[in-house]
Amino acid sequence: MSYLSISRVTKQFGDTVVVDDFNLDVEKGEFVSFLGPSGCGKTTTLRMVAGFEIPTSGKILLDGADITDKAPNQRNVGMIFQSYALFPNMTVAQNIGFGLRVRKEPENMVKQRVEEMVSLINLEKHANKYPYQLSGGQQQRVSLARALAIHPQVLLLDEPLSALDAKIRISLRAEIRAIQKKLGITAIFVTHDQEEALSISDRIVVMNTGVMEQVGTPFEIYNFPKTRFVANFVGSLNTADAEVVDPAKGLVSMDGVQFESAEGTEGRKKGDKVKIAIRPERLSFASEQKKANVVDATIENITFLGSVVRIQVKIGNTKFNMDTFNNPFLELPGLGSKEQVTCSKEAVLVLDE
Amino acid sequence: MSIFARIRRIPFWSWFWFILGALYFLLPLYATVNFSLRMERDVIGFKAYVRAFEDPEFLETFLYSNFLALMTIVASIILIVPTAYWIRLRLPEARRIVEFITLLPFVVPAIILVFGLIRIYSSPFKIPLTDITILQPLTTFEVGTDILIVAGYMVLGLPYMYRSVDTGMRTVDVRTLTEAAQSLGASWFTIITRVILPNIRAALLSGALLTFAIVVGEVTLASFLGVPAFGPYLFLLGQHRAYEPAALSFASFLLTWAAMGLIQLFTGDQQVSGAH
Amino acid sequence: MAQTALNPKAPTPALDWKKWIGVTPFFLFAILFLVLPSMRLIVGSFTNSDGQFTFANIFQLFQEQAILDAYWLSIRISAATAIGGGIFGFLLAYSVTVGGLPKPLRSALITFSGVASNFAGVPLAFAFIATLGRTGFVTALIKNLFGVNLYQQTDFDLYSFWGLSLTYMYFQFPLMVLIMAPALDGLKREWREAAENLGASTGQYWLRVAFPVLLPSILGSMILLFGNAFGAYATAYALTGGRLGIITIQIGAQIRGDVLHNPGLGYAMAMGMVVVMTISLIGYSWLQKKSERWLR
């Protein structure tokens, strides 16, 4: 039996189905991200775990107990909001101690726990400041400490980094992950930022229009997207219309250019319309020893992105992006020149039309 | 949510307070209308209204008050719009002092203001240290009194007009608008008449209507400065008549209502309030 | 060049003062019609009948029982209507914002409050005479329903402390509604959710979070209401015809004719009002600043 179990949960607002048949088992100490565009139902699902929304049908079990209809203040789950939601009339220490004080814990115990939490987030110097005197990153750390102070069974994070600057976002993300690992706490993290989800999670749930598209480790989600939505939403992707040529050999044809794919053609017939998808970093210039999938390409454009150089090539009638690592000695072909590019069989994903 | 929680969600106390508030609002209005319709014994009719509106003095004073309101609004806009614009554009360091001045009318109520105005402007203006008079006392001639009372009304409306205009300018970001227009080669005249004014139209209108609501029934300044305005007329009418004043009170309530309703229409849910 | 080096603070003065020309008309207006009249009263307060400087007027202010009574009555009425109107206005604003009433009631209340908070002076006085006067509608209603004649069987009198307070309430609590509705909107939904999430009951949320956050705003608004009532003249004059000796009516009498037989004392009385109003405005802006910091 898993620690947190969300089973067959559906949520409707009026006639709109916001979350449709959501099933997920989360192990103790696991860090799971809900990833998807806005309006995909990820926040609603999180809010059902917190108790701010009640599922239309389905069950939520936490450590064996049914919490589906429990009031939020009876649940013992910690929640972190995008807008920090710190109480403006209380200092950092008072904010952190709030949950314990409303539980009528003895004052010396509250003080001790607050001190512990303040040092966990390294804000000892700011314990007596008010939220408006802190930066966004500091405020969100206080919010984390406040949620952890009550020893929650699950930590829920609702886009906690979205309101922060890019640099702080990355450092706080690492800090959240480190604290979560150190305390061994179960966490659910909602985000629309795929890089965030990939870097922080044990597992990712990709959601779209209320439906779970795929559940898997970051590695699986990125390298083996099961649906076209996942492939498109996570990472960047070249896609093109193609036609199955030989299902047994995994051959597909795009405007007469043939690609060989390691998987995805099973169960398809010759002549089926499909989409092929290749990640930009999987394409490269063909070297001396010719392997599979060597195709002719014309160099259309070259964009310098820092650590990566993005080369736009035209294969057949379709434009593809090709990423290559930057180095000072990189020799780039001229615009308009004809080159051969290649990719491995495994890099060619065949998806439904 | 349990069924108990749902039942508790029916906001009994909210309804209670709301209905109490509605009664407080409506009862005096109802009483006024009710009373104003009973001028003739045992008949419900508009006689009081007909009588009140037929009085030539009513029309005279009411028109005069409207004239004062119009003058006040025009003068306020001419004074405040360039000031607020200039501060946003060139002189942000003057913001604090100007905002401080626009708050002063809260500290100096109408009765005190008129006290000071009368004491200053009922004596002739002389060049300092000489006996040469450059201006007769304003209170001694009609135009002078009009100038004085319009200035007084401008002071009373200053906090509202300034805040309204300044908020309007902030929301449309006049500075960027001006710079954009300048970069496109617009002249100052074009910028102000075709870029700035149309964009703060709603703010100007709500400031103007608020000023109108303050001025049209104003009594304190008008009666101490002795001008034949609607406020003092209504007051005197109340001394020796019963039904006509009630009719006019309700009419002026409707007038205030119209002004506030229009403001609501132009600015949405924003705060509207005047001084007493 | 050398001079600039020696005095690095010297700016470009030509440019600097030209900028201020743009606001000259405004300052001129403010000086002529706001500052000068106020200064006249202040100077007058410290001048005796021979035109010499004196503190005598100020001292006398605190010795004339009639003047002290007038101030005290004004303060009592203003405080009563500020607290009463403040509490009632807050509850009303609460009911239409977070209190769970349907949305249309909110805009109806806000519009009505805009009208009522501007509905003062003579028409308001007449409306209350028609309501609670001797032959008023509600007076008659109470008589018919409960058999109680307000004017014969109770102490009630529209032209007294309570009557004037009830009348002032008509513009006081709507003003509170107008100020508090945005403040209540400023309470973030996340605060409530965070509190609940941390185990707090609704009561604990209101006691420990919502109410403390709103408190500066509530107190500040009540101070504003106090000033609003304290400076009111027309309503009281139209209602009581000068019979109820609040401070503004005393000042009015002093303007009409020197009833105190000492112009300096009249000025001092006016200045006393300005002092009270200034103190309340300072209190209001201090609390407002505190509240904005929290409710941003």
Query: Tell me, what CATH number does C127's domain have?
Result: 1.10.3720.10
- pLDDT at residue number C165: 95
Beta-carbon separation of A87 and C200 below 8 A: no
- pLDDT at residue number A290: 62
Contacts of A179 (CB under 8 A, 6+ apart): A120, A121, A144, A148
**Lowest-confidence segment of A339-348, B222-231, C175-184 by average pLDDT:** A339-348
- Nearest Cα to B242, choosing from B104, B99, B28, B51? B51
CB pairs under 8 A between B and C: 265
Provide mean pLDDT across the span B250-270: 79
CB-closest option in A76, A85, A98 to C188: A85
- The number of distinct structural domains making up chain C is 1
Beta-carbon separation of B256 and C115 below 8 A: yes
B-contacting chains (≥3 CB pairs under 8 Å): A, C
pLDDT digits (tens, 9 = 90+) for B152-187: 999 999 998 998 999 889 888 888 999 999 999 888
pLDDT band for B1, please (50, 70, 90 cuts). Answer: very low
> Which stretches of chain C score pLDDT less than 50?
1-11
DSSP string, C146-208: H---HHHHS---TTSHHHHHHHHHHHHHHHHHHHHHHHHHTS-HHHHHHHHHTT--HHHHIII
Selected residues 38-67 of chain C with any CB under 8 Å from a CB in chain B: 38, 40-41, 44
Beta-carbon separation of A69 and B2 below 8 A: yes
Same domain membership, residue B104 and residue B2: no
For residues A6 and A16, is the Cβ–Cβ distance under 8 A?
A: no
- pLDDT at residue number A331: 81
Residue A293 has pLDDT above 50, yes or no: yes
Contacts of A308 (CB under 8 A, 6+ apart): A281, A323, A324, A325, A326
- pLDDT at residue number C174: 94
pLDDT digits (tens, 9 = 90+) for B231-245: 999 999 988 888 999
Residue A67 at interface with chain C, using a CB cutoff of 8 Å = no
CA distance C126 to C119: 11
- pLDDT at residue number B8: 53
CATH code for the part of the protein at A4-232: 3.40.50.300
Percentages helix, strand, coil for chain B (3-state, rounded to 5) are: 80, 0, 20
Q: Nearest chain A residue to B3 by CA: give it.
A: A69
Instruction: Tally Cβ neighbours within 10 Å of residue C295.
Output: 18
Q: Nearest chain B residue to A73 by CA: give it.
A: B1
- What tokens appear for C115 in the block? 């009208």
Q: Domain span at residue C165?
A: 64-295
Residue A178 has pLDDT above 60, yes or no: yes
Nearest-Å Rg of the Cα atoms of chain C is 25
CA distance B237 to B239: 5
- Residues in chain A closer than 8 A to B1 (CB atoms): 54, 69, 71
- Residues in chain C closer than 8 A to A77 (CB atoms): 197
- pLDDT at residue number C2: 41
- Residues in chain C closer than 8 A to A75 (CB atoms): 197
Q: Domain span at residue B22?
A: 1-36
- pLDDT at residue number A264: 67
Q: Nearest chain B residue to C110 by CA: give it.
A: B269
Is C24 within the bounds of a domain?
no
Provide mean pLDDT across the span A127-141: 94
Same domain membership, residue B115 and residue B24: no
Is B72 within the bounds of a domain?
yes
User: CB burial class (10 A; 0-12, 13-18, 19+) of residue A329?
Assistant: exposed
Beta-carbon separation of C199 and A78 below 8 A: no
For residues B247 and B36, is the Cβ–Cβ distance under 8 A?
A: yes
What percentage of chain B has pLDDT greater than the value 70? Answer: 91
Is B43 within the bounds of a domain?
no
Beta-carbon separation of C118 and B117 below 8 A: no
Same domain membership, residue B199 and residue B69: yes
Is B273 within the bounds of a domain?
no
Residue B272 has pLDDT above 50, yes or no: no
CA distance C237 to C245: 10
CB pairs under 8 A between A and C: 77
Same domain membership, residue B32 and residue B154: no
Beta-carbon separation of C196 and A150 below 8 A: no
Minimal C-alpha gap between C186 and chain A (Å): 12
Q: Nearest chain C residue to B113 by CA: give it.
A: C37
A-contacting chains (≥3 CB pairs under 8 Å): B, C
* Average model confidence (pLDDT) across chain A: 91
Please compute, for residue B46, the number of CA atoms within 13 A of its CA located in the half-sphere on the CB side.
6
Provide mean pLDDT across the span A312-316: 91
Beta-carbon separation of C126 and B249 below 8 A: yes
Pairing of strands A154-158, A77-80: parallel
pLDDT digits (tens, 9 = 90+) for A206-225: 999 999 999 999 999 998 88
Nearest-Å Rg of the Cα atoms of chain A is 25
Same domain membership, residue B91 and residue B20: no
pLDDT digits (tens, 9 = 90+) for B61-120: 999 999 999 999 999 999 999 999 999 888 888 888 998 899 888 889 999 999 999 988
Most A-contacting residue of B1, B2, B8 (CB-CB within 10 A), to test interface: B1
Residue B271 has pLDDT above 60, yes or no: no
Is B276 within the bounds of a domain?
no
Residue B5 at interface with chain A, using a CB cutoff of 8 Å = yes
- pLDDT at residue number C225: 94
Minimal C-alpha gap between A343 and chain B (Å): 50
Residue A52 at interface with chain B, using a CB cutoff of 8 Å = no
Residue A74 at interface with chain B, using a CB cutoff of 8 Å = no
CA torsion sign for B237, B242, B245, B248 is negative
pLDDT band for A272, please (50, 70, 90 cuts). Answer: confident
Beta-carbon separation of C197 and A77 below 8 A: yes
Structural domain boundaries of chain A?
Answer: 4-232, 236-352
pLDDT digits (tens, 9 = 90+) for C81-109: 999 999 999 999 999 998 888 888 998 89
C-contacting chains (≥3 CB pairs under 8 Å): A, B
- The number of distinct structural domains making up chain B is 2
Same domain membership, residue B23 and residue B83: no
Beta-carbon separation of A102 and C194 below 8 A: no
- Residues in chain C closer than 8 A to A78 (CB atoms): 197-198
Same domain membership, residue B85 and residue B136: yes
CATH code for the part of the protein at A236-352: 2.40.50.140
Contacts of B150 (CB under 8 A, 6+ apart): B68, B71, B72, B75
Residue A104 at interface with chain C, using a CB cutoff of 8 Å = no
CA distance A243 to A247: 10
Is B44 within the bounds of a domain?
no
Percentages helix, strand, coil for chain A (3-state, rounded to 5) are: 30, 35, 35
The residue written with tokens 């149309």 in the block is B198
pLDDT digits (tens, 9 = 90+) for A42-80: 999 999 999 999 999 999 999 999 999 999 999 999 999
- Nearest Cα to B138, choosing from C263, C270, C33, C47? C33
- CATH number for the domain spanning B155: value is 1.10.3720.10
Residue A71 at interface with chain B, using a CB cutoff of 8 Å = yes
Is C36 within the bounds of a domain?
no
Same domain membership, residue B129 and residue B2: no
* Average model confidence (pLDDT) across chain B: 86
DSSP string, B160-223: HHHHHHHHHHHHHTHHHHHHHHHHTT--HHHIIIIIIHHHTHHHHHHHHHHHHHHHHT--HHHH
